[in-house]
Amino acid sequence: MSRLNYHHLYYFWRVATEGNLTRVAEALHLSQSALSAQIRKLEDRMDKPLFERRNRRLVMTEAGRQVFNYAEVIFSKGEELESLINRGIEPEHQHLRIGTLSTMSRNFIEGFIAPLLNQQAPKVQFSLYARSMTDLLDGLARHEFDLVLTNTQLQPSDSPQAAWQSQLLARQPLAIVGPPDSEPTKPFPQGYGGLRWVLPGEHHEVRRAFDGYCSLHQYRPAILAEADDMAMLRLLARDSGAVSVLPEVVVKDELEQGRLTRFMRLPNVYENFYAITLPREFMPAVVSELLARPLQDLS
């Protein structure tokens, strides 16, 4: 398959930007005929005219405008890259790519990216990608993400060939929550007989912590439903009338509105939130600033 000639694309981009063939030819030390010939080769490659003459002016065709939009991104990014590598100057506009574990709290993610939503913040565009842990680490290794957010600690078996950097960002106490009219009058476990539960799946770290607490107190919960996805668990806790155990940040709005109430917090049991990155020689400043914030205790 033939490949695009970027010299031809560059000549087209310069002429489209300047709007004057003569000035670009002089700046590039080419004759007008030679410059025109290079642009015609690009038009032959595209099989469409990119310019048309109107009153002795070069005007881009519809196809020309489409090609120009792509060329603008390609060559402006090239200039940014040169500035970054040679002078350490980051571009004014940055695009941050954040991978997130698909089952984690959306409220925590929103809190993490809050500085990027500030109108006074630098001009940063960001994209969020929800993936499984395996897909997140694979994407990070391929440099598809600038960082990854997860509530799962890395294990030695997680792609051992990559030198992951894992940083604890925040921790959130686990709480038993439920409808206000179901709040027990006696402490755990005596007051919790007969209650139905909606819980994370049995392999979820939150569930394992709760199971350990129940085992310690010889309590067996009557499980109505299980869900690994925190957004789904939030809806079940809100609408089922059952009791749940989860980080309070997941049901922050429901607690503030009084639709749910906190019965108790599990002592010395937390859900942890991590940022995972790869060692990089050129870490974007916006990433460094996000990771430099103090450890958050979301209690």
Q: What is the pLDDT of residue 193?
A: 92
In a domain, 137, yes or no: yes
Q: List the domain range (segments joined by +) for residue 134.
A: 94-170+274-297
pLDDT in tens, 65-101: 888 888 877 777 666 666 656 655 555 667 788 999 9
The answer, yes or no, to whether residue 264 has pLDDT greater than 90, is: yes
Reported as a single tens digit per residue, the pLDDT across 274-286 is 999 987 656 677 8
> Phi then psi for 140, rounded to 5 degrees?
-65, -40
Residues 262 and 205 both lie in one domain = yes
Peptide bond into 189 cis (omega under 30): yes
Mean pLDDT value of segment 213-234: 93
**Nearest by Cα to 272 from 164, 149, 162:** 149
DSSP for residue 250 = G
Same domain, 223 and 288: no
pLDDT of residue 181: 94
pLDDT of residue 80: 62
Q: Which residue has the tokens 């004759």?
A: 31
pLDDT above 60 for 287: yes
d(CA 116, CA 121): 6
Tell whether 1 is covered by a domain: no
Same domain, yes or no, for 253 and 282? no
266 shares its domain with 190: yes
Nearest Cα neighbor of 243 from 191, 172, 298 is 191
Contacts of 86 (CB under 8 A, 6+ apart): none
Residues in the chain: 299
User: Strand 124-131 to strand 94-101: parallel, antiparallel, or no bridges (unpaired)?
Assistant: parallel
- Hey, how many other C-beta atoms are within 10 angstroms of the C-beta on 83? 13
pLDDT tens-digit series, residues 1-41: 357 788 888 898 888 888 888 888 898 888 989 988 988 99
DSSP-based three-state secondary structure for 158? coil
- pLDDT given at position 1: 35
163 neighbors 236 (Cβ within 8 angstroms): no
**In angstroms, rounded to a whole number, what is the distance separating the alpha carbons of residues 17 and 75?**
12
Q: What is the mean pLDDT of the chain?
A: 84
Q: Is residue 145 located within the same domain as residue 219?
A: no
Number of domains in the chain: 3
Choose between 122 and 264: higher pLDDT: 264
Same domain flag for 256 and 130 = no
Q: What angle do CA 135, 137, 142 make, to 5 degrees?
A: 95
Residue 194, domain member (yes or no): yes
* 188 shares a domain with 44: no
pLDDT of 239 higher than 70 = yes
What pLDDT sits at residue 101? 93
Give the residue with greater pLDDT, 164 vs 185. Answer: 185
Measured between alpha carbons, how far is 19 from 13 in angstroms, rounded to an integer? 10
